[in-house]
Amino acid sequence: MIKAGIIGATGYAGQELTKLLNKHPKVIIEFLSSNSYSGKPFSEIYPHFIGIIDKVLISTDDALKKIPDIDVLFTALPHGTAFDFVKKAFDSGIKVIDLGADFRLNDIETFENWYKTKHTAKDLLEKAVYGLPELWKDNIKGSQIIANPGCYTTASILALAPALKLKLIDAETIIVDAKSGVTGAGRKADIPLLFSECGESVKAYGIASHRHTPEIEQELSKMYGSKVQITFTPHLIPMQKGILSTCYAQIAGSYSKEEIHQLYKDFYKDAPFVRIREDYLETRFVKDTNYCDISIWTDKRTNRLIVTSALDNLVKGASGQAVQNMNIVFGFDEKEGLC
């Protein structure tokens, strides 16, 4: 058994992570932390956990002191706020999985430009591993700091990685059109996220400026072997959970849909949470699961590849992936607590 602590346990990703770890057969939750609700039982904030998870929430100051007592720390915090906790965990020899954006980008200047926040843990950036198990499992195994990918990024990278790695597409023609449920914006009071504001409506936002763009480009460039730039447009959909990403690019050659489909299946043959499908995807098919479904289409008329991917933004796009990374780091079955 390993002991885990969660900082930011009452956000949407944090509560999903708490639920998953509470059911994990090899994990004991040592502490749950939340500054907003410190001193209150977790089940008071989320009443569906009454009698299941009644642990009292502690402050982040108290959590910082308890880090040396655990085996793995999860930080589920807004960008720019995890640095001190990750430093403390690293110095204490504790594994840390950061669900935020603070350690995802390899270049500190890129981080500060896109997030408008000063990075105060530059020395730890080179020690952090991007935690997308389907691509970097071997690196994750021996790492102490795991940068858990975002939801849009996971869906987009998994959809395009095989095509770029195998040079199936023209890398200069990539367009990603992605749609997310409202929980992707976090648990906060914000007028555009109110039901009466976002219900019965769809909107594009962060056009040509969304902060997940450099993260997607960074990992796709590693796959391709040279710099990749994309056009990325996210949309807000009036549903609670889910990501649907539709990716377009010119095919570099004369590959058929069947050939590309098989190449994708071969690429992900050892990835238990990627399902290559032959039908139209819907977010409800992956809701509350750690799966990323991918479907491949070709447009013969325009010679374009169209890849769709779907996942639950709070599970495979956040907390489920964090548990998957934890399983890999500690040598558990990758699917433990997730199937």
Cα gap 27→22, rounded to integer Å: 7
**Phi/psi of residue 271, nearest 5 degrees:** -110, 100
Gyration radius of the chain's alpha carbons: 20
For residue 130, the surrounding DSSP H or E stretch is strand 128-130
* 243 vs 226: CA distance, rounded Å: 27
- Catalytic residue check, 151: yes
Torsion angle (degrees, nearest 10) of CA 337, 332, 67, 315 = -40
Tokens of 205: 């936002």
Provide the angle, in degrees to the nearest 10, between the axes of the packed helices 151-165 and 133-141. Answer: 100
Residues ≥6 apart with Cβ < 8 Å to 62: 31, 33, 38
Of the candidates 333, 318, 314, the one whose C-alpha atom is nearest the C-alpha of residue 24 is 333
From the candidates 151, 198, 247, 292, which is the catalytic residue?
A: 151
For residue 73, how many C-alpha atoms fall within 13 Å in the half-sphere facing its CB?
33
Q: In terms of Cα–Cα distance, which of 105, 169, 161 is closest to 134? A: 161
Taken in order 222, 180, 10, 190, is the CA torsion positive or negative?
positive
How far from each other are the two terminal CA atoms of the chain, in whole angstroms?
Answer: 19
Q: Could you give the residue numbers annotated as active site?
A: 151
